[in-house]
Structure 1
Amino acid sequence: MRRSLYVGLVVLFAVGLAFAVRYGMQEDEGTGGASQQPVTTALQPATLKLLFPLEEPAAQKEVLQAVEAKLAKDGLPIKLDITYIPYDQYWNKVWLIAASGESYDIALSAYSNIADYVSKKVLAPLDTALRDHGQAIVESTPDYAFQGVTIGGQIYGIPRVMPISEFQSFVQIRGDLRKKYGLPEIKTVADMDLYLETMHKYEPAITPYFYDTGRFLLREYGDVAFLAGGYLNAPVYIDPADPQLRVRNTYESDFFRSIMQKMHEWQDKGYVPYGPSDTSRYPDPELAFNSGKVAATWSVVLKQTERIDAFKAMNPDGELENVYLHPEKPKYLFTGADNILSVFSTSQHVNESVAFLNWLRSSQENYDLFTYGIKDVNYTLTPDGAIDYDGIPPEKQYMPISWTWNDIRYVRFSKYISPAYRGELRNWDKEATASPTLGFVPDLSPIKSEIAQLNVIITEYLPLLYDAKGDWAATMGSFRVKLKDAGINHVIAEIQKQFDSFRAARKDVRS
């Protein structure tokens, strides 16, 4: 990550908290100046309880034993207890834990919900713990990434360090099938139309496109920064190309209608099942894609690297391609963070939690152990340092959800990822264009009741609007009325006020 691309963005830490974290200083009450004496808090022996989505990976027990042995060797009195929750239940479980006060420590949060979590006091601020026990985290995390987890001047999570510009603007296709029929690389929606049409016509046993709701289409119809949520679940957005930088209603936008029209067209042509996020056809969408039943599916910037080994195990001669539309257009850095590891406000081990995550980010050895397991037991390395599972029994192939803590400095790519593509990913943000929204995280506490009502309405109506068999006009009319009654205009006004203050503060510091 080249911080020089984002010179001046650190002004969002003008409150001074991040400065205190970075330099380990405290305010001298007698002089009003910064003292050079850091305040440190001793670590206590602790068993940290981590909450992650999905399923426990193979060989988890033996890997955690090795991790705990290394932690002890490094002087950290920490043990780990990880609970896994099915993804469709995970976010509700986070709320239940926060409400009940259950003794959990570290959990996955996300840029799309961190403001909501903070407004409802689910998460603990980490400034003091980072100052005392997070030196490696602070030194390795770009300032703009910290901005993505800073609300009200306090830091509420440890963002993963990864390619972040336009990181969700992808769809995954079968590169081998594209080449089989002599199709061009997909750079426009017209190219995607041709690919799906060809799959539908010549590969009747394969569903052309499944389990994706068209996020990648924003590169064609309107690339925007979503606020107070993620993608079309977010009620409001800002277009970085808008000279006025107005906060606007997602569901009154041209891009929303265009995406819906394209999804309806693909459903009517048989490319996409009706209700594109309905998993009844394939209860396990990932398995459906990896086993060759689907020709295009959802992706993010690093997803190809994460699914390639499972895919190649089922399709030794198959190829994956990450599709990124209109590479000639600006590659926006909308936000500084996506997946985040946060600490529950009810945790009794905030310092120890940060110390553990700091240990993880302190060296290649530590990162490899927690992320890939025990070398030559759970994985091997190729001469150029790529991950290789050949000869490793399936029950020993440790593949945890490392997308919650990626650190691009230490990531080891699969041997099936070419050196050229590895280099492209490591330098993905090099030519990024900083969006005016970068670093802005709205404080939802003044509008938390409205946001809660809007989320209920959006969750109810979006599946209906995606379904081409529905009555679009009637459903949309009812949707907009309910959004208005729930206070979407108040939400727009409040977030606009906050964004204007954010911009003014940045200009004041720069001047």
Structure 2
Amino acid sequence: MRKSMYVLLFVLTTVLFVMIITYCRANPDKSSMVSTPAPAKSDIQPTTLKLLFPLDKPAAQEEVIRAVEAKLAKDGLPIKLEFTYIPYDQYWNKVWLIAASGEPYDIALSAFSNISDFVSKKVLAPLDAALENYGQNIVKSTPDYAFQGVTINGHIYGIPRVMPISEFQSFVQIRGDLRKKYGLPEIKTVADMDLYLETIHKNEPAITPYFYDTGRFLLREYGDVAFFAGGYLNAPVYIDPADPQLKVRNTYESDFFQNIMEKMHDWQKKGYIPYGPSDTSRYPDPEIAFNSGKVAATWSVVLKQTERIDAFKAMNPEGELENVYLHPEKPKYLFTGADNILSVFSTSQHVNESVAFINWLRSSQENYDLFTYGIKDVNYKLKDGAIDYDGIEPKHQYTPISWSWNDIRYVRFSKYISPEYSNQLRNWDKEAIVSPTLGFVPDLAPIKSEIAQLNVIITEYLPLLYDAKVDWAVTMERFRAKLKDAGMNHVMTEIQKQFDAYRATRKGDKS
């Protein structure tokens, strides 16, 4: 009898223990008995990860990466890093060729504008299992809406950077010192921009008023929309979040497209922009042209001022930069949750190791600082928590393309960025309005042949349409006809079907 009671007591105790553990796992915030989650798996074997990035190799990379590898080893990750850099104009095609050829690469930069296309072509590996087992810090620090921006057919295909994301491309950069020099108002409308460009044109003959930008910021004036199957005006279709019907529409039959083209043509004819605004022949390196004072307005995104400021100040110690965001009084939409993304090639043999490395990067300020800024007092200095390069030789100033992996929790801004502006950027998304398109990423596999044809036509015609010397009506009619013949209507129908299904699913989630 006593033995039976002991057995019964043991069974009851075991059942109770299992119930407590099950409850705690399901309700991690409701019990002080729950320990912190177990760290990501550390059964990583010695591996060399091959990373592919655009642009140029940064100075001092060897000494920084040696320090990064030493810290990885100390933290239980025997990972080495090998980098390859490709000129930007060749980069995206190179990503596709690597996947097609099976070259042994692992991590690469991808983007929201092309992730659907890459997935449909089987360029990228799904990361769901690797994130579950090796990416706990990534999952914990990444907003749900950011993961929605890299999820296609229920699978995650990249790790988005965590940064101010609402309308992050709706900017243009100007010389704030020149604006103030001539007593001009802050630029909040296209009329203000007209006045700025006109003033520079009249009073600064050695400066090109506006160069190397295709007018993305003008959408704040002419129509804020979410683009799909591409980025900005090279995306064939869009959805207007203010449209009650939420219809997928043709970019090249929209009023905003024509209005942006007309404004760009107007600025070309007045001499504010060289003919063909995307042509870089006047200044082979547009970034140096702007930083050296040859250009008064150029392209920008929400964080670009923080990334550009040190190079600009090195050439213009008394100069000032201003990020222009038109109509701040209008709704600020959160169209999508991702922009720049770290993805893993589908041909990689090191998916788990790749995720484990990025997880390490996103796990602490120390790790982030080391990989992003280098070795303190060797590659940079800290001044009141800000990045300072005073006294650091250029050959030791390590400035990689950190816009591939920004984490706003850890980002350090330049000493030239004011605390007020820094705070504004860190809180940029707080008043954003969630667009009904947030989280929708179309699956382009059913329309990949049509998308490929449309891309060829768009690539051919957009530069022509930007050029004020071209006969707009004739060129536009030919352009639209070719798009129709290539399957534009089918693309719109398919993406509309997918979007409607996505919306129905989201409504179901809310209920």
SS at match of 2:163: coil
1:390 is paired with a residue of what secondary structure?
Answer: coil
**Cα distance, 1:77 vs. partner?**
1.1
Whether the 8 Å contact between 2:39 and 2:136 is mirrored in structure 1 is no
Q: Which residue of 1 aligns with 2:360?
A: 359
- After TM superposition, give the deviation of residue 42 of structure 1 in Å: 3.2
Which digits, 9 at most, give the CA deviation of each residue in 1:246-295, with x for residues without a partner? 00000000000000000000000000010000000000000000000000
Matched, 1:288 2:284: no
Note the alpha carbon deviations across 1:92-111, whole angstroms, 9 max, x for none. Answer: 11011011000000000000
Query: 1:115-161, CA deviations, whole angstroms, 9 ceiling, x for partnerless residues?
Result: 00000000000000000000000000000000000000000000000
1:328 is aligned to: 329
User: In the alignment, what sits opposite 1:100?
Assistant: 101
Query: Secondary structure of 2:94's partner?
Result: helix
Alignment-derived partner of residue 53 in structure 1? 54
Aligned residue in 1 for 2:34: none
Instruction: Please give the alpha-carbon distance, in whole angstroms, between the structure 1 residues aligned to 2:39 and 2:75.
Output: 22
Q: Give 5+ residue unaligned stretches, structure 2.
A: 1-23, 27-36
- The one-letter amino acid of 1:342's match is S
1:212 and 2:213 matched: yes
Q: Please tell me whether the aligned partners of residues 110 and 340 of structure 2 are also in contact (alpha carbons under 8 angstroms).
A: yes
Q: Secondary structure at the match of 1:366?
A: helix
* Structure-2 change in CA distance of 1:39 and 1:24 (3 Å): farther
Equivalent position of 2:412 in the other structure = 412
1:135 aligns with 2:124: no
SS in 1 for 2:217: helix
Query: Alignment partner of 2:413: what SS?
Result: coil
Name the SS of the counterpart of 1:168 in structure 2. Answer: coil
Q: CA deviation at 1:38?
A: 12
Name the SS of the counterpart of 1:326 in structure 2. coil
Which residue type is aligned with residue 394 of structure 1? P
In 2, the alpha carbon distance for the partners of 1:165 and 1:125 equals 26
Q: 1:484 to 1:188 in 2, by over 3 A?
A: same
Alignment-derived partner of residue 482 in structure 1: 482
Partner Cα separation in structure 1 for residue 284 and residue 361 of structure 2? 34
User: In 2, are the aligned partners of 1:24 and 1:39 still within 8 Å (CA)?
Assistant: no
Equivalences for residues 165-204 of structure 1 within 5 A:
165-204=166-205
In the alignment, is the contact (CA less than 8 A) between 2:127 and 2:156 conserved in 1? yes
Aligned to 1:4: none
Cα distance between partner residues in 1 of 2:312 and 2:65? 26
Q: Does the alignment pair 1:401 with 2:407?
A: no
Provide the rounded CA distance (Å) in 2 between the counterparts of 1:63 and 1:507.
48
Query: 1:53-452 to 2 correspondence within 5 Å?
Result: 53-382=54-383, 384-452=384-452
Return the letter of the residue paired with 2:510: R
- Equivalent positions of 1:14-33 (< 5 A) are none
2:341 alignment partner, SS class = strand
With normalisation by structure 2, the TM-score equals 0.92
Identity %: 85
* Distance in 2 separating the partners of 1:39 and 1:66: 22
Separation of aligned partners in 2, 1:309 and 1:278: 26
Alignment partner, residue 495 of structure 1 = 495
Distance change in 2, residues 1:351/1:24 (3 Å): farther
Instruction: Kindly provide the amino acid, as one letter, of the partner of residue 276 in structure 2.
Output: G
Cα distance change on mapping 1:478 and 1:97 into 2, 3 Å: same
- Kept after mapping to 2: 8 A contact 1:226/1:238: yes
- Name the structure 1 match of 2:18: none
TM-score by length of 1: 0.92
Match of 1:8 in 2: none
Secondary structure in structure 2 of the residue aligned to 1:178: helix
The CA distance in 2 between the partners of 1:271 and 1:502, in whole Å, is: 44
| Structure 1 unmatched runs, 5+ | 1-22, 26-35
Q: Secondary structure at the match of 2:473?
A: helix
User: Deviation per CA, 1:479-510, whole angstroms, max 9, x where unpaired?
Assistant: 00000000000000000000000000111121
Q: Distance in 1 between matches of 2:38 and 2:509?
A: 26
Cα separation, 2, equivalents of 1:256 and 1:180: 33
